[in-house]
Amino acid sequence: MTTTNDATIDKVVVITGASAGIGAELARQLAAKGAKVVLAARRKAELDEVAADLGKDALAVVTDVTKRSDVEDLCKAALARFGRIDVWVNNAGHGISRAVAELTDDDMNAMWRDNMMSVLYGIQAVLPHFKSRNQGQIVNVSSGLSRAPLAPARAAYGAVKSAMNLLSASLRVELRATHPGIHVTVVLPGVVATDFGRNALGGGVDNRNLPGAQPVEAAVEAIVSVIESPALEAYTSPFIAEIVARYQRDPAAFEAELASRQRV
């Protein structure tokens, strides 16, 4: 999925997890198309560096998305600076490398806090503004792992992302009846060449060293595309879409194949 290079995006976009990886690249691509971007992350130095490269229409707001008050302050800061929000991208998240049999309460609590509560806080912070205008878009960055058990060590992460998918779909149903101008989009990346694997709880393989890792620029083009033309959901690459489709067609055969690879 690609975007039109000369298309202009006249929107105010809030992006969480914007100090590196997908979030930072999304800010760059949107700013290059004329969008005003509000960047949120915990790491001030890195966040300020990304914002500085984007010019006067970029606002950096140090935010811990696991704290409701921080997310509410992020929304207020965006509105104070730009007067409106058009798109809110819940991108911040955290992975894990742990077999199901070894998962602890702390592991699961961290996955739920980082990958679900942070999304809920973002939705609830911006929704009153969107409802007042009957306009806006919430983009929730999920994972192909929410649709198929492609990496058992990421089970807790995929499980929470799966719950987030349903939360997003349920929100769409709620809004369709009362505020049809508000869009809710789920984006499903596969393996993207970022620090995600290295930063996972319990450590992990660097995503950039995995076969078939998608360049972050290409993955972000898919997100830009659904901001330009809202859709219910989008995979960032045809490859991950086909892998998920294969699993859904014959889960038993697909799981047997994955298990055989683990035994090698």
User: How many whole angstroms separate alpha carbon 57 and alpha carbon 50?
Assistant: 12
Neighbours of 168 (CB within 10 A): 21
**CATH tag for 12-263 (out of 3.30.420.40, 3.40.50.720, 3.40.50.2000, 1.10.10.10):** 3.40.50.720
Among 121, 157, 235, 247, the one annotated catalytic: 157
Output 30-35 pairs: Cβ under 8 A, ≥24 positions apart: 30/224, 30/227, 31/55, 31/57, 31/58, 33/3, 33/7, 33/8, 33/9, 33/224, 34/8, 34/9, 34/10, 35/9, 35/10, 35/11
As a whole-number percent, the residues of the chain with pLDDT over 70 amount to 92
- Mean pLDDT computed over 139-143: 97
Residues 25-76: tens digit of each pLDDT: 999 999 999 999 999 999 999 999 999 999 999 999 999 999 999 999 999 9
Residues 204-218: tens digit of each pLDDT: 766 666 667 788 899
Residue 4 above 90 pLDDT?
A: no
Residues 106-124: tens digit of each pLDDT: 999 999 999 999 999 999 9
Residues 84-110: tens digit of each pLDDT: 999 999 999 999 999 999 999 999 999
Does 157 participate in catalysis according to the annotation? yes
Per-residue pLDDT, 1? 40
Per-residue pLDDT, 238? 92
Output 47-54 pairs: Cβ under 8 A, ≥24 positions apart: 47/18, 47/19, 50/18, 50/19, 50/20, 50/24, 51/27, 53/28, 54/27, 54/28
Question: Mean pLDDT for the chain?
Answer: 92
Task: Grade residue 222 by pLDDT with cuts at 50, 70 and 90.
Answer: very high
